[in-house]
A and B are shown apart, each in its own frame.
Chain A
Amino acid sequence: MRALAILLAALIALPLAAQDSMPPAPYAYRQLDDPEQEAAAQELMETLRCLKCQSQSIADSDAPMAGDMRHQVRIRIAAGEEPGEIRRWLMDRYGDYVSYQPVMSATTWPLFAVPALLVGIAGLLFWRRFRRRA
Chain B
Amino acid sequence: MNWRLWLPFLIFFGFLGLAAYQLSQPKDEFIKSTMVGKELPYFTLPPASLDRPGVDSRYFHAGGPKLLNIWASWCLPCIAEAPQLERLKEEGVEIVGVAIRDKPSDVMRFLAEHGNPYTRIGRDDLSEVQLGIGSSGVPETFVIDGEGIITYQHIGDIRPEHVPVLLEELRKAEG
Q: Do A and B come from one complex?
A: yes
Q: Identify 11 new A-B residue pairs, CB closer than 8 A, beyond the known A93-B132, A94-B34.
A: A16-B76, A18-B74, A20-B100, A20-B101, A22-B103, A51-B136, A90-B131, A93-B34, A93-B35, A94-B31, A98-B31
Q: Fill in one digit per residue for B60-94: 1 if any A CB lies within 8 Å of its CB, else 0.
A: 00000000000010111100000000000000000
Stretch binding the partner chain, chosen from B111-119, B121-129, B164-172: B121-129
User: Which of B74, B128, B132 has a CB less than 8 Å from the CB of A19?
Assistant: B74
Q: By CB atoms of chain A within 10 A, which of B33, B126, B127, B136 has the most? A: B126
A83 within 8 A of B: no
Closest residue of chain A to B32 (Cβ to Cβ) is A95
Residues on the B chain within 8 Å of A68, using CB: 101, 126-128, 130-131
Interface size grouping (class) on chain A:
20 to 34
Q: Is A10 an interface residue (CB 8 A)?
A: no
Residues on B with beta carbons closer than 8 Å to the beta carbon of A71: 126
Main secondary structure of the interface of B (DSSP, over half): loop
B53 at the interface (CB under 8 A from A): no
User: A64 contacts which of B77, B101, B131 (Cβ < 8 Å)?
Assistant: B101
- Residue with the greatest number of chain B CB neighbours at <10 A, chosen from A20, A51, A91, A94: A20
User: What distance in Å separates the Cβ of A124 from its nearest Cβ neighbour in chain B?
Assistant: 12
- A17-B76, A65-B127 in contact; A22/B101 too (CB < 8 A)? yes
Contact status of A93 and B74, CB under 8 A, knowing A22-B125, A65-B127, A72-B128? no
**B residues less than 8 Å from A19 (CB atoms):** 74
Interchain Cβ contacts within 8 Å, total number: 69
Question: What's the Cα separation between A75 and B100 when bound, in Å?
Answer: 19
**Interface residue ranges of B18-59 to A (CB < 8 Å):** 31-35
**Identity of the chain A residue whose Cβ is nearest the Cβ of B33 in the assembled complex:** A93
Question: What's the Cα separation between A71 and B127 when bound, in Å?
Answer: 10
Q: Which of A16, A17, A20, A69 contacts B102 (CB 8 A)?
A: A20
Q: Is A21 at the interface (CB under 8 A from chain B)?
A: yes
Task: Say whether A92 faces chain B, with CB atoms less than 8 Å apart.
Answer: yes
A92 touches B137 (CB 8 A): no
A103, B64: Cα distance in complex, Å: 38
Which listed residue, B103, B126, B136, touches A94 by the CB 8 Å rule?
Answer: B136
The answer, yes or no, to whether A40 is at the interface (CB within 8 Å) is no
Which residues from A are CB-within-8-Å of B127?
A: 25, 64-65, 68-69
